[in-house]
Structure formats: structure tokens, C-alpha cells
Amino acid sequence: MAGDRLPGRGGVCSTRRNLRSGRQWRIVAGHHRDDTGTDHNVDMASKSVALFKERVVPGAGWWVIVASLVAMVAIAYGAALGTGLGVATAAILAIAAALGLWFGSPVVTVTASGLRCGRAQLPADVVGDSTALIGTALREVRRGHGTTATVYSVLPIWSPESALVVNIVDPDDPHPAWLVATRRPQELAAAIGAIRGATPGRG
């Protein structure tokens, strides 16, 4: 391959000396690594480990509504064009609806790097404190009470009865906070507290 060179005699002798001395080498992500040195790949991997992960899928009620609509359409097609076509229509619509709801559900993830909601990401060094909103408190916020229009909202139409307000400590960010839907607000708050505590100069 272009750019590759075979080791010369000196490289071979050096490798033999290392083997004789008992030093162990490993290949990590395409790089030679001495077991006595620092593996930066481990540090990078640790930042990608999820402390919290949740796909906020619709609740049972929404699935019932979707199933009812699919059944109504399938019955109508079946009555007009035959049972076979009605069954085929039901199967196609059911699969399409399930995939749409599943992949349309936001995924909330917390790693050492920060908070991610779908494609939006909040770096760990600007993540502030958080407050859980449950039941009536969340419904009031969704009506616009006690919050501002600039809050970044991650609340799908099928949002559960709980969410977490995550404040942002970056004064240049146009959003003072994120409002994140979750069925596990305490776990999400704990994960956010963990990355705040692990960030230098934060706590």
C-alpha cells in the first residue's frame, strides 16, 4: 500500500530486543501501545459509556389508538375490496405505524460528554442543575405557566406525565434550559448530577 514501508534491520533488531526484555505490546485502534503507558483509547471509550439511556416511546393508550385506526381502515378496505386486501392493508399499516412511532420517539442519553436528546447535544461543561416535573407541575409548564418560550423542549405529543428541566449555565446559549420528557426523572437527574460532579470546577 502507498506510504507503507517494511521495517529495516534496525527496526527488526529493536523489536527482538523488546521481546527479549519481556515488554508486552498490543495493537489498540491501529496504534502500538506499551502496557506500561497510558491508553488514551480507554479514556475516550469511557466518555461514550451511557450513564442513562431511554427511548421515550408512546404509552399503552397511544398504541391502542393507533391500532384502532389501523383496524378501521383495514375493515373499510376489506369490505370494499375483499378480505385478503383488508388483511394486507392492516399488516402494512400496522408495521408502518409501529416503525414510525418507534423511530419518531426521542432517545435521551447521558454520557460523560454531556446530555443528548435526539440529535441535539448539550456538553457536560454547560449542564446545570435539574428539576423534576411530575403530573400537574408538568401540565402547567406545557401550558406556558412558569417557563419561557425560549426553553428547548423535548416533549413529544405522547409525552409521559414526567419530565426534567435541565438548566444551562452558558450565557451565550439562546436556550436557558432544556425540558426533557422521561419516565425515569430521578434516574436522569442522578446521571446529570454525576457528570456535573465529574466536570472540573463543577459540583
Q: What is the pLDDT of residue 17?
A: 42
Do 159 and 190 fall into the same domain? yes
Reply yes or no on whether the pLDDT at 103 is more than 60. yes
Residue 9 lies in a domain: no
* 183 closest CA partner among 198, 165, 200, 161: 161
As a whole number, the mean pLDDT across the chain is: 79
Do 72 and 118 fall into the same domain? no
Cell numbers standing for residue 98: 409501529
Structural domain of 82: 60-103
Mean pLDDT in residue range 145-174:
88
Report the range out of 41-45, 46-50, 61-65, 147-151 with the highest average pLDDT: 61-65
Domain edge (last residue) among 69, 103, 137: 103
d(CA 109, CA 22): 43
Cell numbers standing for residue 127: 449542564
Do 95 and 122 fall into the same domain? no
Residue 8 lies in a domain: no
Residue 178 lies in a domain: yes
Digit-coded pLDDT (tens) for 118-140: 889 999 999 999 999 999 999 88
Q: Which of 32-46, 83-97, 103-117, 170-184 has the lowest mean pLDDT?
A: 32-46
The string over 112-128, giving b where at least 16 C-beta atoms fall within 10 Å of a residue's C-beta and e elsewhere, is: bbbbbbeeeebebebbb
pTM of the full predicted structure? 0.68
Q: What is the pLDDT of residue 202?
A: 56
Mean pLDDT in residue range 68-76:
94
